[in-house]
């Protein structure tokens, strides 16, 4: 009988003692709870500076701190996206040496499981057998709204898209509150089923209440100084109380190094400016960030803890405050309502009711001390009953078992925006498994041999190659083409010069395969590109074309990452290597033809838009499998603003109804980032394309500045002046 311990891998951006916060606290208690239930638990958390893995074991839990720069993808992926890739890389390393875990759990925050789940759904070895549970904590796309972050600005928009996709791609979703499920539903209309599982929490020693003290002598705000945590309406409400004669001070526990976008300053600075008089008068006292031990000491005689969030999942601050016998006054706008019962184990107010906060402050202040003591006792009991490890584990185990049951390797590929998969007859698809590769050719004799060599060196051998000579007039190129035809025996199609679109379309008319690919005669492909793409097309019935990342060569050594082409971003700017895709030919012949009216280029992007509009969805292999030659005289190098404006307008008018469906988001993207043709990569912000910005030393300097209040303040001041 197999006595092997079940393996549970937990990936996270936060884990104590390196990081605090709700996600870190959740991961600490989840790991501890599972370890006590005899799971072999490993926690993966990124190191900020180390280039090697650091592995430690604490209380039976293995912690892997890994380098976030090992694969070097940060050079062409933004910080969050490259971190997701590094998570996938370290998980691959450990699976190759140790085998698969029984379950891998991730947070949705920052989309850290993005590439793990991409590899899973793209049939990568080991990943395709991985069972993934996703726990909803604090989705950026929702919290941007609460914190007044410009959500359509890049890279914020892209981070939200990564999170949305992870939510759609996991085997099973769970969340600590029903509140968060309802809150994200408008952002993901086709949200899969989410199981609510309470947060695990236990402490080593039971709280001993001191009934000789009155907690109402101490009033604390406990949380990050962010709009989402309700600091803005809280301070406004307490100013009204002080003006009306309230004498007690309010203590603020929480860090203020959180950027307040509307005012272009840290929240700490905003509080100091807005409530300077109250601070000078000793009514508002700022304690800054405190460790759990420090804040517990501050409130050891009991306190009223204010948690006025304008929207929150299920803050651990509520649990920690209740278990320590404090009086909690929280807003109704969050998961805390799922444990707090007004006047029984705490108090609730409603941001949507005028003066609700102030009224509840007076209710608490006026209650008999005996009732306050009873509420404190009930507060402790409510946490012990709802959040104890045994109770939570029983519910978590059902989620784990459900993930295993729902996992299957051949499920449809998940997309954020849903559409109906087109219906077609099998007889329309062409010769089974045959890949027809179309090479449009015009005076490219200097390069085409490399192109054909890469095609015929492919590990996918069931191919036919069709070269369309689009009226070449360079005699040297014509001679090269004849020589190569004798060598490779490809099909040569001749036509008068009609342009790139017509040449591609002509090649398709001569293609007889089930699958179709294009490759320009100055580019090359890696040997595995075709086989990897066709594997996906064969296994995913709702995928009809496949792209990859690009490696530049000749005049550039850079890279270009492609992404799953989905609206609204697809309509804003091209996000896939549209001139080197592999298709199920049926999709192209139905809705993929290149439009010759786009004589200045981007005809391949318009083709992708038309495919997606009609339900023929595509994916991207996150590997550099296409080599894209950068030439001084190439069509792309000769784009002008005017050519692009013509092409963008033409595409929008041709697909007006499709654009109209996404008009709100498109307007937001344009207002936040400027014209789409100026954006090359959604993982970076428009102010991040500074040549030295990807330098690791610069990143370290920025991190250093963030940790030094004086330097940070000066840097933000300079930034605000630049942006004005």
What are the tens digits of pLDDT across the range 194-231? 999 999 999 887 877 877 789 999 999 988 899 999 99
Query: Are the C-beta atoms of 689 and 155 separated by less than 8 Å?
Result: no
Average pLDDT over residues 448-463: 97
Token pair listed for 214: 């009155």
Q: Which CATH superfamily is domain 7-196 in?
A: Glycogen Phosphorylase B; (3.40.50.2000)
Architecture of domain 215-387: 3-Layer(aba) Sandwich (3.40)
Residue 604 has pLDDT above 70, yes or no: yes
Residues 6+ apart with CB under 8 A from 701: none
CB 603 within 8 A of CB 500: yes
pLDDT in tens, 296-337: 888 888 999 999 999 999 999 999 999 999 999 999 999 999
The three state secondary structure string of 357-399 is HHHHHHHHHHCCHHHHHHHHHHHHHHHHHHHCHHHHHHHHHHH
Residue 155 has pLDDT above 50, yes or no: yes
Distance between terminal CA atoms of the chain? Answer: 69
Question: pLDDT-based confidence at 707, cuts 50/70/90?
Answer: very low
Q: If DSSP codes are grouped into helix, strand and coil, which group holds residue 644?
A: helix
- Whole-number pLDDT of residue 638: 65
Separation of alpha carbons 722 and 724, rounded Å: 5
User: Torsions phi, psi of 329, nearest 5?
Assistant: -115, 110
pLDDT range class, residue 526, cuts 50, 70, 90: very high
Q: Which residue has the higher pLDDT, 69 or 465?
A: 465
The pLDDT of residue 470 is above 90: yes
Tokens of 419: 């559409």
Q: What is the pLDDT of residues 14-58, one digit of tens each?
A: 999 877 789 999 999 999 999 999 999 999 999 977 778 899 999
Q: The tokens of 10 are what?
A: 């937990």
The pLDDT value given to residue 156 = 96
Strand intervals (E) in 303-377: 304-307, 327-331, 347-349
Which pLDDT tens digit goes with each residue over 108-129?
999 999 999 999 999 999 999 9
Chain centroid to Cα 106, Å, comes to 12
Q: What is the mean pLDDT of residues 372-396?
A: 96
| Domain range list for the chain | 7-196, 215-387, 426-654, 690-724
- 416 and 566 Cβ atoms separated by less than 8 Å: yes
Confidence at residue 715, expressed as pLDDT on a 0 to 100 scale: 54
Give the pLDDT confidence of 57-106 residue by residue, as tens digits: 999 999 999 998 889 999 999 999 999 999 999 999 999 999 999 999 99
User: Which are the contacts of 371, defined by CB distance < 8 A and separation ≥ 6?
Assistant: none
User: For 565-602, how does the pLDDT look when each residue is reduced to its tens digit (9 = 90+)?
Assistant: 999 999 999 999 999 999 999 999 999 999 999 998 89
Distance CA 141, CA 167 (A): 12
Is residue 57 classed as helix, strand or coil in its secondary structure?
strand
How distant, in Å, are the alpha carbons of 47, 446, 598, 670 from that of 66? 5, 45, 47, 37
d(CA 664, CA 144): 17
Query: Which helix (H) or strand (E) segment is 9 a member of?
Result: strand 7-11
Q: What is the pLDDT of residue 687?
A: 59
| Residue 187, token pair as written in the block | 């952002």
Of 109, 181, 166, nearest to 139 by C-alpha is: 109
Burial grade of 188 (CB within 10 A; 0-12, 13-18, 19 or more): middle
Global pTM reads: 0.93
* pLDDT-derived band at 636, boundaries 50, 70, 90: low
Enclosing H/E stretch for 514: strand 513-518
pLDDT of residue 78: 92
For 563-633, list the strands marked E by DSSP. Answer: 582-584, 618-630
Per-residue model confidence (pLDDT) at position 378: 96
DSSP alpha helix (H) spans, 417-517: 448-456, 475-488, 500-509
What are the structure tokens assigned to 667, written together? 């307007």
pLDDT at 708: 47
The rounded radius of gyration (Å) of the Cα atoms in the chain is: 29
Supply the pLDDT for residue 474: 95
Q: Determine the pLDDT at residue 423.
A: 83
> Which residues are 61's β-sheet partners?
58
pLDDT bucket at 366, cuts 50 / 70 / 90: very high
pLDDT, position 426: 65
Q: DSSP secondary structure string, 245-272?
A: T----EEEES----EEGGGTEEHHHHHH
Average pLDDT of the residues of the chain: 91
Please determine whether the domains at 7-196 and 215-387 fall in the same fold group of CATH: yes
Percent of all residues in the chain with a pLDDT value above 70, rounded to a whole number: 93
Q: Which residues pair with 348 in a beta bridge?
A: 330
Reported for 361-370, long-range contacts at CB under 8 A and 24+ positions apart, including other chains, are 361/237, 361/241, 361/246, 361/329, 364/216, 364/304, 364/327, 364/329, 365/216, 369/214
Look at residue 693 in the predicted model and tell me its pLDDT: 41
- Helix or strand or coil: residue 138? coil
The pLDDT score that the predictor gives to residue 19 is: 75
For 440-467, the three-class secondary structure string (H helix, E strand, C coil) is: EECCCCCCHHHHHHHHHCCCCCCEEEEE
Q: What b/e string do you get for 28-60 counting C-beta neighbours within 10 Å, with b at 16 or more?
A: bbbbbbbbebebbbbbbbbbeeeeeeeeeeeee
* Listed residue (50, 80, 79, 81) closest to 66, CA to CA: 50
Residues 263-288 pLDDT 10s? 889 899 999 999 999 999 999 999 98
Ramachandran quadrant class, 298 (left: phi over 0; alpha: psi -120 to 50; beta: rest): alpha
Q: What angle do CA 321, 107, 97 make, to 5 degrees?
A: 125
Q: What is the mean pLDDT of residues 139-153?
A: 94
Q: Name the pLDDT band for 408 (thresholds 50, 70, 90).
A: confident
Cβ-contact 525, 626 below 8 angstroms: yes
Provide the H-helix boundaries in 5-112.
Answer: 21-36, 79-98
Mean pLDDT of 243-268: 90
pLDDT computed for residue 297 by the predictor: 82
- 591 is written with which tokens? 């809705």
Give dist(CA 155, CA 141) in Å, integer.
Answer: 11
The shares of helix, strand and coil residues in the chain, as percent rounded to the nearest 5, are: 45, 20, 40
Q: Write out the two tokens for 112.
A: 């850290």
DSSP string for residues in 173-195: EEES-HHHHHHHTTT-TTPPPEE
Please state which CATH number belongs to domain 426-654.
3.90.550.10
């Amino acid at each position: 009988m197999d006595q092997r311990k079940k393996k549970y891998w937990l990936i996270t951006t936060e884990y104590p003692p390196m990081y605090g916060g709700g996600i870190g606290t959740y991961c600490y208690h989840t790991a501890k709870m599972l370890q006590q239930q005899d799971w072999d638990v490993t926690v993966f958390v990124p190191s900020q500076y180390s280039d090697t893995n650091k592995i430690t074991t604490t209380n039976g839990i293995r912690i892997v701190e890994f380098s976030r720069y090992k694969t070097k993808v940060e050079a062409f992926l933004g910080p969050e996206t490259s971190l997701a890739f590094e998570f996938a890389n370290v998980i691959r390393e450990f699976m190759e040496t140790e085998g698969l875990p029984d379950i891998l759990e991730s947070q949705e925050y920052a989309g850290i499981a993005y590439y793990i789940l991409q590899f899973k759904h793209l049939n990568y070895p080991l990943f395709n057998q991985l069972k993934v549970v996703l726990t909803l904590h604090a989705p950026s796309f929702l919290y941007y709204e609460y914190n007044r972050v410009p959500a359509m600005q890049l890279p914020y928009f892209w981070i939200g898209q990564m999170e949305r996709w992870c939510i759609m791609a996991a085997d099973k979703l769970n969340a600590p509150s029903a509140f968060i499920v309802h809150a994200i539903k408008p952002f993901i209309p086709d949200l899969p089923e989410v199981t609510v599982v309470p947060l695990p929490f236990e402490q080593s020693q039971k709280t001993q209440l001191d009934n000789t003290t009155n907690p109402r002598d101490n009033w604390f705000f406990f949380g990050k100084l962010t709009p989402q945590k309700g600091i803005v309406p809280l301070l406004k409400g307490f100013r009204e109380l002080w003006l009306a004669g309230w004498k007690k001070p309010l203590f603020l526990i929480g860090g203020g190094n959180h950027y307040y976008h509307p005012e272009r300053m840290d929240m700490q600075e905003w509080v100091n400016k807005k409530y300077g008089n109250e601070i000078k008068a000793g009514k508002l006292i700022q304690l800054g960030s405190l460790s759990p031990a420090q804040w517990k000491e501050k409130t050891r005689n009991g306190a009223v803890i204010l948690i006025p969030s304008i929207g929150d999942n299920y803050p651990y601050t509520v649990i920690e405050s209740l278990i320590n016998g404090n009086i909690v006054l929280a807003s109704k706008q969050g998961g805390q309502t799922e444990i707090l019962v007004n006047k029984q184990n705490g108090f609730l107010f409603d941001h949507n009711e005028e003066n609700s906060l102030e009224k509840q402050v007076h209710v608490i202040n006026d209650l008999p001390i005996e009732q306050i003591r009873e509420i404190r006792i009930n507060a402790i009991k409510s946490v012990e009953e709802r959040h104890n490890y045994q109770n939570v584990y029983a519910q978590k185990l059902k989620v784990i078992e459900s993930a295993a049951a729902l996992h299957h390797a051949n499920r449809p590929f998940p997309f954020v925006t849903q559409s109906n998969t087109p219906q077609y007859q099998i007889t329309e698809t062409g010769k089974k498994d045959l890949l027809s590769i179309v090479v449009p050719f015009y005076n490219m004799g200097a390069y085409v041999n490399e192109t054909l060599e890469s095609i015929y060196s492919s590990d996918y051998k069931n191919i036919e190659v069709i070269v369309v000579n689009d009226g070449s007039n360079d005699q040297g190129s014509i001679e090269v083409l004849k020589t190569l035809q004798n060598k490779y025996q490809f099909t040569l199609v001749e036509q008068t010069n009609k342009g790139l679109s017509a040449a591609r379309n002509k090649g398709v008319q001569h293609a007889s395969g089930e699958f179709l690919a294009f490759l320009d005669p100055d580019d090359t492909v890696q040997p595995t590109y075709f086989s990897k793409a066709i594997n996906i097309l064969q296994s995913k019935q709702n995928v009809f074309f496949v792209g990859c990342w690009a490696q530049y060569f000749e005049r550039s050594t850079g890279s270009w990452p492609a992404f799953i082409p989905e609206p609204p971003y697809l309509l804003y700017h091209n996000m896939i290597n549209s001139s080197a895709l592999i298709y199920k030919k049926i999709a192209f012949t139905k809705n993929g033809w290149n439009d010759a009216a786009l004589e200045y280029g981007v005809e391949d992007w318009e083709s992708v838009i038309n495919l997606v509009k009609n339900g023929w969805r595509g994916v991207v292999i996150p590997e550099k499998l296409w080599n894209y030659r950068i030439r001084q005289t190439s069509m792309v190098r000769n784009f002008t603003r005017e050519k692009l404006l013509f092409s963008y307008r033409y595409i929008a008018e041709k697909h007006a109804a499709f654009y109209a469906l996404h008009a709100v988001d498109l307007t937001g993207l344009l207002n936040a980032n400027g014209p789409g043709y100026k954006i090359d990569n959604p993982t970076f912000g428009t102010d991040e394309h500074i040549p030295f910005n990807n330098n690791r030393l610069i990143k370290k300097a920025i991190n250093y500045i963030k940790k030094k209040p004086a330097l940070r303040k000066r840097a933000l001041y300079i930034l605000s002046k630049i942006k004005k």
